[in-house]
Amino acid sequence: MIPLLDLKAQFETIKEDVLPALLEVAESQRFIMGEPVRQLEEAISQYVGAESAIACASGTDALLLSLTALGLEPGDEVITSPFTFFATAGAIHNAGGTPVFVDIEPDTFNIDTTQIEAAITPRTRAIVPVHLFGQMARIEDVMVLCDRHGMALIEDAAQAIGARRLLAGEWCMAGSLGTTGAFSFFPSKNLGGWGDGGIITTQDAALAQRLAKLRTHGGAKQYHHEEIGTNSRLDTLQAAILLAKLPRLDKWNEARRRHAEIYAEGLADIADVTVPYTDRGNEHVYNQYTIRTTRRDELRSFLNERGIGSAVYYPKALHLQPCFEHLGYEGGQLPETERACSEVLSLPVYPELSADQQEVVIAAIKEFHT
């Protein structure tokens, strides 16, 4: 059995760091906004290279709080990718906005920034590029558009903690360039907790204060409320786990990149398999290793029969979801997204994957194609 993701294998390697951290929280009995939450915010803001970080209950809430802070009015539009996890567009709707979908680049699966300008209207308030599968979008193009039109830029960096892009000779981290960056600590992300969690990064100290308030019912001081927020705190227990894991993140991301290289070599000669493309100037963190193949569903069953895990991220484009029917999109309208939905397959790429296991995966894919 080679699962898509093996969190038990990771647990064996981190037990000795994480369990004492949990015991410490248990002994303190400070489960809400204990010291580890503040320490994690400090550590993540340093790691990302952001002025501030505000921990919250999930990646979905990191997006929702960022968008809520914009004060969207009915009819306000937010441009994003239709090829992403549902939360990206769901958060736009729940913050009071209307999602506007722009097609993706076929090679990186990220939003095609050359098509954004045509989608901007007087009602466009923000752009939410998604750094999909662990590779940053062409954010410099989005920054130019946001500056020119006075729009906010919310980076959906849920899959991209540690990913970097070379801009004007400088390596910039995902989450350090937008109005805010939204991260998820869902267990399957590159830095995962033992439950839900998320964090927002920003370079804007005033916005950070505002987000910290929105996270705790809109009040900086207990029982005094300047505005209406919500309860979206990160548990102290999750913060303690994440703090114990953070020092290993770069090594884990390196291991994912090594696996990607081995796949790229091993799968190079198969005509019907396209391995992931890394844009020049990007350092990928491979939250997913996603190939394309025209016989995707057959290959997936073939691997499944041999005990090899794989997954389809994502099988149905967001512009064609029943809940967005009212937006009026039609099949064929965003062709690269729709083609990706029928061709993508994500393979095991977790850090603990062994060389032997990876050989088994490669051999199975070769066998299928002979």
Ligand X SMILES: *Cc1c(COP(=O)(O)O)cnc(C)c1O
Any idea what the Cα angle at residue 38 is, between residues 35 and 41, rounded to 5°?
A: 150
Question: Which candidate, 294, 334, 338, places its Cα nearest to that of 314?
Answer: 338
CB of 269 to ligand X, least distance (A): 31
CB of 271 to ligand X, least distance (A): 30
Q: Which of 80, 159, 202, 290 binds ligand X (CB under 6 A)?
A: 159
Residue 324 interacts with ligand X (CB under 6 A): yes or no: no
Stretch that binds ligand X, among 14-22, 29-37, 54-62, 226-234 (CB under 6 A): 54-62
Applying the rule CB under 6 A, the residues between 351 and 370 that interact with ligand X are none
Stretch that binds ligand X, among 121-129, 152-160, 203-211, 300-308 (CB under 6 A): 152-160
Cα first-last separation, the chain: 23
Residue 58 interacts with ligand X (CB under 6 A): yes or no: yes
Residue 109 interacts with ligand X (CB under 6 A): yes or no: no
Instruction: Kindly state the tokens that stand for 279.
Output: 């844009």
Residue 85 interacts with ligand X (CB under 6 A): yes or no: yes
- As a dihedral over the C-alpha atoms of residue 208, residue 160, residue 1, residue 360, rounded to 10 degrees, the angle is -170
Residue 196 interacts with ligand X (CB under 6 A): yes or no: yes
In angstroms, the CA 344 to CA 336 distance is: 12
CB of 58 to ligand X, least distance (A): 4
345 or 364: CB nearest ligand X: 345
Phi, psi angle pair for 153, to nearest 5°: -125, 110
Beta-carbon neighbour count of residue 323 at 10 Å? Answer: 11
- CA distances in angstroms from 132 to 159, 271, 355, 357, listed in the order given: 6, 24, 26, 25
84 or 238: CB nearest ligand X: 84
Stretch that binds ligand X, among 84-92, 173-181, 254-262, 271-279 (CB under 6 A): 84-92
Residue 186 interacts with ligand X (CB under 6 A): yes or no: yes
59 or 351: CB nearest ligand X: 59
Burial degree of 302 (CB within 10 A; 0-12, 13-18, 19+): middle
Give the pairing type, strands 77-80 and 98-101: parallel
Residue 235 interacts with ligand X (CB under 6 A): yes or no: no
Interacting residues toward ligand X by CB under 6 A: 58-60, 84-85, 87-88, 130, 156, 158-159, 184, 186, 196, 198
